Amino acid sequence: MDVFSQLAAGFAVALTPQNLMWCLVGTTLGTAIGVLPGLGPALTIALLLPITFKVEPTAAFILFAGIYYGAMYGGSTTSILLNTPGESATIVTALEGNKMARSGRAGAALATSAIGSFVAGTIGTIGITFLAPVVVTFALKFGPPEYFALMILAFVTVSAVLGSSAVRGLISLFFGFYLGMIGVDLQTGQARFTMGVPELLDGINVIIVAVGLFAVAETFYVAARRYAGKDEILPLKGSLYMTREEWSRSWKPWIRGTLLGFPIGAMPAGGAEIPTFLSYWIEKKLSKHKGEFGTTGAIEGVAGPEAANNASAAGVLVPMLTLGLPTSATAAIMLSAFQSYGINPGPLLFESQASLVWGLIASLFIANVLLIFLNLPLVGLWVRVLKIPAPLLYAGILVFATIGTYGISNSVVDLVLLYILGIIGFLMRRFDFPAAPVIIGMILGPLAEQNFRQAMTVSNGDWSIFFSSTLSITLYVVAIIGLIGPKIWAFYHFVRLSRLPSPSGEA
């Protein structure tokens, strides 16, 4: 079937009453989560994993995708009205959006943000529709050595990008790798790292790790660093209908932001932070109203970065669905959700689970339409959500996490593991170790081991098989550049600055 036929089949799946309901629940919940500062789609999906354990896979992923897209929309409301970005990708929105709100133009800032998110989300989803099959066709040519090289590239890029330090990222990654190794080795039948605990022979469920590191750890962290002050929520002023001038100042940044966000988000080391900051920089350079930036708030500084943020969210789904590579914390949690259903994202996913994948892609189009209606007319409702006391919110998260985890296997050992991982996650957060590489290491580590063993079996133990194809060598070179490239660039920049004459004219 061609792309259009597959997409039409996907709409037939997504438009069933049951899946439409899950899409509406996901987008509503995602918007609420995006509005609440400190929470994010990764934590929410992690929290819902045990609860949705018995939901049909297609419905569950439509729910998760709705949460993912909804959180991207909702994050802008907090940034604009509260000046508290829910995620790093919405920091730029707060720069200009909050200043617009303080100048009495909160309505215009929210409108350009929501419409820009709709434009970028729709174009980004079209990008997934047509780019994903191309990537799959290419990826089907991979053998075990190429897959192993791809895993190495994924380990390096995600651990280096998701944390402030490559070393801390790699330590988190190897911790996840260790967790993934626990259990009986299927090839030799030997128990590994089980410490004599029979419940560990089947390994640790990735859902427990995700809930422990994200939901429980976040609750401990918030409780330990309870903010004593009170945030100021700006009143919603100004019409939600943009003027003709505001439309003319917004549409080009929406397009430019989308064109930046989608390809960068689709790259293995992409993410949402780079395109949003790049979009802000470009809009500031191109704007005819430079005086508004940083003072009264420029609408271009909200429109462009918000579009880039949402387009990158769509781009992140391309490597996750086609190659099984997560390039953000949310993608890592969604990957663990696939694992919990016994589904391995990758090139074969489009053949083995075509109904699920195309239903998911079609639901993204529907989610975008739902979100534009949920965000603009109901913005007053979302402002009220901001007034929920944090202790009640996080106590509820802890209760949900505990009940959901116990419901997976009714095992007390799982609950003990949940809270041990919660404490480890709290310490990681306290000392600035990223949690997402742990999930990635836990999922991709065993896959890398499996491909390594298959390649060695095929070559009768000849190590040169890992460097026998141009594709493998290219992937290793890119991985090395990803690991040491930023250091070389920083050193070059330092040497260049040190050679510049000092302002006083001294040598």
Tokens of 171: 């330590």
Average pLDDT over residues 182-211: 84
Burial class of 188 by CB neighbour count within 10 A (0 to 12, 13 to 18, 19+): exposed
192 secondary structure, DSSP code: E
pLDDT confidence tier of residue 419, bands split at 50, 70 and 90: very high
For residue 469, is it within any domain?
no
| pLDDT on residue 507 | 39
For residue 208, is it within any domain?
yes
For residue 210, is it within any domain?
yes
pLDDT confidence tier of residue 255, bands split at 50, 70 and 90: very high
Residue 323, beta-bridge partner list: none
d(CA 500, CA 507): 9
- Pick the closest to residue 313 from 76, 136, 70 (CA basis): 70
Give the highest mean pLDDT range of 47-56, 152-161, 449-458. 449-458
| pLDDT on residue 500 | 66
| pLDDT on residue 75 | 76
What amino acid is encoded at 166 in this protein? A
Yes or no: say if 211 and 435 are a contact pair by the CB < 8 Å rule: no
Average pLDDT over residues 121-144: 84
| pLDDT on residue 227 | 56
Q: Domain count for the chain, please give it.
A: 1
Other Cβ atoms less than 10 A from the Cβ of 500: the count is: 7
CA distances from 175 to 66, 168, 181, 215 (A): 30, 11, 10, 18
Does the structure show a pLDDT above 70 at 258?
yes
Average pLDDT over residues 32-44: 73
> Is 184 strand, coil or helix?
strand
pLDDT confidence tier of residue 256, bands split at 50, 70 and 90: very high
Residue 8, beta-bridge partner list: none
- Pick the closest to residue 391 from 157, 222, 186, 160 (CA basis): 222
Average pLDDT over residues 264-271: 69
For residue 477, is it within any domain?
no
Which tens digits make up the pLDDT trace of 66-112? 888 888 777 777 778 777 666 666 777 878 888 888 888 888 888 88
d(CA 323, CA 142): 10
| Domain with 209 in it | 3-141+166-433
| pLDDT on residue 84 | 65
Does the structure show a pLDDT above 80 at 505?
no
Average pLDDT over residues 440-450: 84
pLDDT confidence tier of residue 406, bands split at 50, 70 and 90: confident
Which tens digits make up the pLDDT trace of 146-192? 888 888 887 776 665 555 677 888 888 889 989 988 988 877 888 88
Average pLDDT over residues 394-411: 80
Alpha-carbon torsion angle 147, 153, 154, 157, nearest 10: -170
d(CA 146, CA 152): 10
For every residue of 378-441, DSSP letters joined together read THHHHHHHTTS-HHHHHHHHHHHHHHHHHHHH--HHHHHHHHHHHHHHHHHHHTT--SHHHHHH
For residue 52, is it within any domain?
yes
For residue 53, is it within any domain?
yes
For residue 460, is it within any domain?
no
352's CB contacts (< 8 A; 6+ apart) are none
| pLDDT on residue 423 | 94
Does the structure show a pLDDT above 90 at 238?
no
For residue 127, is it within any domain?
yes
Does the structure show a pLDDT above 90 at 420?
yes
Average pLDDT over residues 265-279: 74
